Amino acid sequence: QQQVKQSPQSLIVQKGGISIINCAYENTAFDYFPWYQQFPGKGPALLIAIRPDVSEKKEGRFTISFNKSAKQFSLHIMDSQPGDSATYFCAAGYNAGNNRKLIWGLGTSLAVNP
């Protein structure tokens, strides 16, 4: 299955709280899992990415947790700030013949209340 299922569709968090967005996949050929952040009126931008040979990657307040056996990965935003309010997309990359392809989740709209 060439799908990445992302949840929740929308999320409201208080300032200082933890935001958690989850993604699940079926295809074991996926070997690259990026998260993109999109602000209103802008294109998505790479936030953080992980490969399946590690279980966690942290960059500042943003952490990806990866569970290979469960085929799930999640984005945790610690100490969430109003400036983190955006749409977040997970994705999964794989080899398709001679090319690389990226399958996108449907996105999560995050609102952080001040």
Partner 1 sequence: NAGVTQTPKFRVLKTGQSMTLLCAQDMNHEYMYWYRQDPGMGLRLIHYSVGEGTTAKGEVPDGYNVSRLKKQNFLLGLESAAPSQTSVYFCASSRGVSNQPQHFGDGTRLSIL
- Bridge partners (DSSP) of residue 87 are 38, 109
Specify whether the CB–CB gap between 88 and 75 falls below 8 A. Answer: yes
With binding defined as CB under 8 A, does residue 9 bind partner 1? yes
Nearest to 82 by CA among 10, 14, 8: 14
Binders of partner 1 among residues 42 to 101 (CB under 8 A) are 42-46, 49, 51, 89, 93, 95, 99-100
Q: How far apart are alpha carbons 6 and 21 in whole angstroms?
A: 7
13: nearest Cα among 73, 107, 86: 86
Structure tokens that stand for 85 in this block: 């309010």
Say whether residue 102 binds partner 1 (CB under 8 A).
yes
Does position 1 interact with partner 1 (CB under 8 A)? The reply is no
Nearer to partner 1, 18 or 54 (CB): 54
Strands (DSSP E) along 15-61, which ranges?
19-25, 33-38, 45-50, 56-59
107 binds partner 1 (CB under 8 A): yes
41 binds partner 1 (CB under 8 A): yes
Q: Cβ of residue 25: shortest distance to partner 1, in angstroms?
A: 14
User: What is the contact surface with partner 1 in residues (CB under 8 A)?
Assistant: 9, 31-32, 34, 41-46, 49, 51, 89, 93, 95, 99-100, 102, 104-107
